[in-house]
């Protein structure tokens, strides 16, 4: 090509759109380096997000009326190069043995307690209809006397049987086992010890159902004595039927849902309450944020109590900022976000967020200062076939609604799904984001699920390269910061299916040398 031809081509490119110029520049550079275009990958096109849910108005649209972020969101291209890395993160230590085996992965929680990190999870019963068991591990990361030598993971494991009693098998289950929804570790009374607490559904000696969160307890359903099946239960109207404990905060509290009715007929909505105590507040005027409940459908169900529990938040997360608490969850395929003040009152409306149009993953929350970060896996509702999940994130300051979701630049090749993300404060104004990568369902021996991590700035821009945490069969990582800035403990499930071994590793992030 002559110099004049090159100049003419350059002038034509300058008239193109910015996105088109970018794609041509990428292909041209690749052709110059390799001499042919066959080995070059085409840049991913920009994808616009669409609103979730049907086009017709529903009860959720009434909740959405105050949503300030309902405009479609553009997801950026897969730009992953960090020209001048600010951070270098590495796996500095690994546990030599699993923390536990046969763990129910969805129950796994992790929190920092002083210079250690405590993990807790559920062990399913060995026998049919047996009670769930609870396991907890206290993990020490590194030798702090000499952080750069003899790096090691040390852990102590304690396991507690919650319900060793065998249930009666006569005429159904007159006394049922405890069913745990979530388990978490707390500081124990003795120095450097840990104890455990749960969010659970249990039954008393008469078969009535109780919702329990730590010291909080409330009867939610009674046995239907007129039924020929003792499992059928009636709802205690106006009683809490869903609770979650904010355990990783300065002053723990319980966030719950209760039906709004107190009369003869159930209402079509449930409202949230928050309390630091052993029972739900008697003053219902302080309840806030409502969610739609199909009361007629619940009434017609064979077991109304079980039917009501089908309409509860999924993956509810609570994160503490300097000013209050961020709340996020998934409900009927939509992501909701709200703020609570320190006196447990709603600070603004419950905001439904605009996602890509497919089924969004459960959210993850982290907080620093007066700001919260919301992270999840999302994908568009593709007509041609299921699209791949990608990580997206947004931020919000206390009392404000989050901005539009933006793509998290993981640096993956895009061949498989990015899912089950986690985020931890890695010190020095840095976030460490982790995720699983591979097929969503990894049942065959050839199906790989790897775990990766990458450092990001407070603005969620990548500041260093991705690193591999685990290969082949890892999923659903959790991460927590230790007392040393830059040190993060990661735990995850290893194996196949929901019951997996719990492994751990220590990640150290430091500023890159210039």
Q: What is the DSSP string of 150-203?
A: S--EEEEEEEEES--SPPP-TTS-SSPPPEEEEEEEEE-SSTT-EEEEEEEEEE
Question: Which residue, 91, 194, 92, 95, is CA-closest to 502?
Answer: 95
Are 119 and 99 in contact, with CB atoms under 8 Å apart?
yes
Specify the DSSP element, H or E, that contains 367.
Answer: strand 364-368
Local structure of 379: helix, strand or coil: coil
- DSSP H helix total and E strand total for the chain: 5, 31
* 421, 425, 430, 434 alpha-carbon torsion, rounded to 10°: -20
Q: Which two tokens stand for residue 336?
A: 């909701």
Local structure of 299: helix, strand or coil: helix
The pTM for the full model equals: 0.80
Residue 379, CB-side half-sphere exposure with 13 Å CA sphere:
17
Backbone φ, ψ for residue 150 (5° rounding)? 65, 40
Q: pLDDT tens for the chain, 514 residues: list them.
A: 544 444 344 334 343 433 443 433 343 333 333 333 333 333 333 333 333 332 333 444 444 433 333 332 333 333 455 656 799 999 888 887 888 888 888 888 998 887 788 888 888 766 665 667 788 888 876 544 444 544 555 655 555 544 444 433 333 333 445 677 888 988 888 877 888 888 988 888 788 899 999 889 999 999 888 766 667 788 888 899 999 999 999 999 999 999 876 655 667 899 999 999 999 998 888 999 999 999 889 988 888 998 999 999 999 999 999 999 999 999 999 999 999 999 999 999 999 999 998 899 999 999 999 999 999 999 998 766 678 999 999 999 999 999 999 999 999 988 999 999 999 999 889 999 999 999 887 666 667 889 999 999 999 999 999 999 988 777 778 888 876 778 899 999 887 666 688 888 889 999 987 6
Q: How far apart are CA 380 and CA 390, in angstroms?
A: 10
Tell me the pairing of strands 390-397 and 406-407: antiparallel
- Cα 366 to Cα 66, 279, 321, 479, 495, distances in angstroms: 24, 28, 9, 11, 27
Are 280 and 240 in contact, with CB atoms under 8 Å apart?
yes
Tokens 């982290």 belong to 366
């Amino acid at each position: 090509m002559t110099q004049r031809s090159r100049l003419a081509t350059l002038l034509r490119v300058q008239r193109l759109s910015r996105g088109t110029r970018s794609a041509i520049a990428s292909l041209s550079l690749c052709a110059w380096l390799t001499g042919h275009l066959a080995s070059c990958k085409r840049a991913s096109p920009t994808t616009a997000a669409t609103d979730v849910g049907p086009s017709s108005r529903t009860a959720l649209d009434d909740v959405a009326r105050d949503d300030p972020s309902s405009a479609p969101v553009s997801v950026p291209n897969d730009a992953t190069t960090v020209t001048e890395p600010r951070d270098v993160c590495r796996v500095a230590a690994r546990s030599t043995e699993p923390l536990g085996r046969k763990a129910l992965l969805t129950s796994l929680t992790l929190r920092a307690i002083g210079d250690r990190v405590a993990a807790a999870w559920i062990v399913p019963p060995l026998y049919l209809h047996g009670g769930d068991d609870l396991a907890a591990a206290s993990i020490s990361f590194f030798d702090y006397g000499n952080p750069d030598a003899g790096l090691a993971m040390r852990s102590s494991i304690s396991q507690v049987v919650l319900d060793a009693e065998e249930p009666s098998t006569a005429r159904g289950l007159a006394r049922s086992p405890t069913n745990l929804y979530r388990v978490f570790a707390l500081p124990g009374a003795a120095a450097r010890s840990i104890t455990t607490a749960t969010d659970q559904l249990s039954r008393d000696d008469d078969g009535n159902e109780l919702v329990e969160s730590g010291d909080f307890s409330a009867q939610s359903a009674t046995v239907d004595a007129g039924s020929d099946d003792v499992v059928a239960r009636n709802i205690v109207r106006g009683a809490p039927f869903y609770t979650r404990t904010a355990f990783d905060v300065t002053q723990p509290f319980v966030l719950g849902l209760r039906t709004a009715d107190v009369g003869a007929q159930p209402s079509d909505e449930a409202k949230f309450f928050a309390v630091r105590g052993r029972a739900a507040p008697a003053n219902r005027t302080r309840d806030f944020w409502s969610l739609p409940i199909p009361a007629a459908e619940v009434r017609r169900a064979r077991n109304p109590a079980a039917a009501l529990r089908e309409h509860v938040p999924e993956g509810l997360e609570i994160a503490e900022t300097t000013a209050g608490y961020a709340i996020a969850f998934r409900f009927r395929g939509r992501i909701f976000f709200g703020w609570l003040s320190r006196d447990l009152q709603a600070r603004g409306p419950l905001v439904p967020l605009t996602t890509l149009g497919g089924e969004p993953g459960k959210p993850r929350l982290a907080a620093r200062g007066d700001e919260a970060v919301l992270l999840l896996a999302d994908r568009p509702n593709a007509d041609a076939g299921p699209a791949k999940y990608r990580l997206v994130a947004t931020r919000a300051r206390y009392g404000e609604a989050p901005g539009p979701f933006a793509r998290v630049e993981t640096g993956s090749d895009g061949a498989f799904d990015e899912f089950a993300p986690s985020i931890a404060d890695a010190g020095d104004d840095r976030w460490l984001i982790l995720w699983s990568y591979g097929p969503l369902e990894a049942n065959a021996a050839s199906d790989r699920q790897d775990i990766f991590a990458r450092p990001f700035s407070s603005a969620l821009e990548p500041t260093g390269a991705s690193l591999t945490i685990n290969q082949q069969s890892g999923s659903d990582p959790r991460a927590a910061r230790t007392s040393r800035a830059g040190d993060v403990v990661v735990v995850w499930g290893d194996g196949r299916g929901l019951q997996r071994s719990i492994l751990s590793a220590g990640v150290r992030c430091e500023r890159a040398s210039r």
